[in-house]
Amino acid sequence: EATLDLAERRRIRSAIRELQRQELERDEEALASKRFRPERGSHRQDDKENWPQSRHLEEEQQAALAALSQQLEAITDVEELTKLLRAAGEYEERKLIRAAIRKLRSKEIEGEALSPCPRVAS
Q: What is the pLDDT along the chain (122 residues), one digit of tens a residue?
A: 677 788 888 898 899 999 999 999 888 888 877 765 555 555 555 556 666 777 777 888 888 888 888 888 888 888 888 888 888 888 888 888 898 899 888 888 888 777 765 665 55
Q: What is the pTM of this model?
A: 0.48
Instruction: Check residue 120 and give its pLDDT.
Output: 58
Instruction: Check residue 89 and give its pLDDT.
Output: 83
Domain ranges for the chain, please list them. Answer: 59-111
Instruction: Check residue 43 and give its pLDDT.
Output: 52
Instruction: Check residue 91 and give its pLDDT.
Output: 85
Burial 76-92 (b: 16+ CB within 10 A, else e): eeeeebeebbeebeeee
As a whole number of angstroms, the distance between CA 90 and CA 44 comes to 28
